[in-house]
Amino acid sequence: MDINYLYDINQFHIYYVEEIESTNTYLKEHYHEFPKPSVLIAKRQTKGRGRYDRVWVSDDGLIFSILFDKLYYNEIIAPIAISSVLKKYNINCGIKWPNDVYINGKKLSGILIENIYTNKLEASIVGIGINKDNKNNVLGIGLKDYLGDFNNIDLIKEIILKYQELLSYDFNKLLAIYKELSIVIGKRIIYKNKIYTASSIDEKGYLVIEDGINCYHISSDEISIKESIIGAVKK
């Protein structure tokens, strides 16, 4: 397997591989071999992983992982970066908590964030998968439906540039953008058989829900938002 250095995009070092089992897994195993931050782009991924170890296989999607040596607000920054770039092309997308990007109620992009610790943080890896062609997507949606033919690496470059810009924002500014893009915040949520309103997310990426009396911060492991939201998740 040949991993090739392409170029730098400002502070990010860009690498490319034709085929790999998983960009996230490779960086987890070889993080000490790469400068930080680095981006590993793959044309084909055969054993990609989503949340709960769901398989994400891609023949020609936008598949890349970003390697950091610090923790950032990646749960918020990653979907904002994708959505912001797509909106430049007049694509009406939104973020389904915690960090999936949707178009017209269908999932376009998934994000998997993994942090590596020994006695301290060693690396933080943000894996991003964006469907390009709907033929391999059971949800039937891909960017080619909206953009026609385009160069994967050029669009990833736009996302990386936006990502770098967002790294300089404080949490409150990021939160305001996230809430504007969210297709969940403001919705009614069933949690432990009671109805709440999703009002915000916190600095850990937890969803904040409240009912006028009680307020809870819940992780994505505690609730399936798809099953718990009242009404269609569309924007």
Instruction: Quote the mean pLDDT of the chain.
Output: 90
Has residue 103 got a pLDDT over 70?
yes
Mean pLDDT of 189-204: 93
Contact residues for 31 (Cβ-Cβ < 8 A; gap 6+): 67, 116, 122, 123, 125
- C-alpha torsion angle, residues 129, 134, 135, 140 (rounded to 10): 110
Cα 137 to Cα 73: distance, rounded to the nearest angstrom:
29
Which domains, and CATH codes, for the chain? 4-181 (3.30.930.10), 188-230 (no CATH)
Residue (of 209, 234, 211, 218) closest to 93 by Cα position: 234
Which one of 41-45, 80-84, 210-214, 222-226 scores highest in mean pLDDT? 80-84
In angstroms, how far is CA 167 from the centroid of its own chain? Answer: 15
Q: Are strands 38-49 and 12-20 parallel, antiparallel or unpaired?
A: parallel
Q: What is the pLDDT of residue 48?
A: 64
- How much of the chain, in percent, has pLDDT values that exceed 70? 89
Residue (of 36, 19, 220) closest to 125 by Cα position: 36
Terminal-to-terminal C-alpha distance of the chain: 41
3-class DSSP state for residue 5? Answer: strand
Least confident of 21-30, 44-53, 186-195: 44-53
- How much of the chain, in percent, has pLDDT values that exceed 90? 80
Contact residues for 16 (Cβ-Cβ < 8 A; gap 6+): 3, 4, 6, 40, 41, 42, 43, 153
Mean pLDDT of 219-233: 77
Q: Please, which pLDDT band fits residue 139 given cuts at 50, 70 and 90?
A: low
Cα separations (Å) of 215 from 9, 59, 87, 220? 42, 43, 32, 16
Q: Please, which pLDDT band fits residue 138 given cuts at 50, 70 and 90?
A: low
Indicate the burial class of 80 (C-beta count within 10 angstroms; 0-12, 13-18, 19 or more): buried
3-class DSSP state for residue 217? Answer: strand
Contact residues for 164 (Cβ-Cβ < 8 A; gap 6+): 9, 10, 11, 12
In angstroms, how far is CA 118 from the centroid of its own chain? Answer: 25
User: What is the pTM assigned to this prediction?
Assistant: 0.91
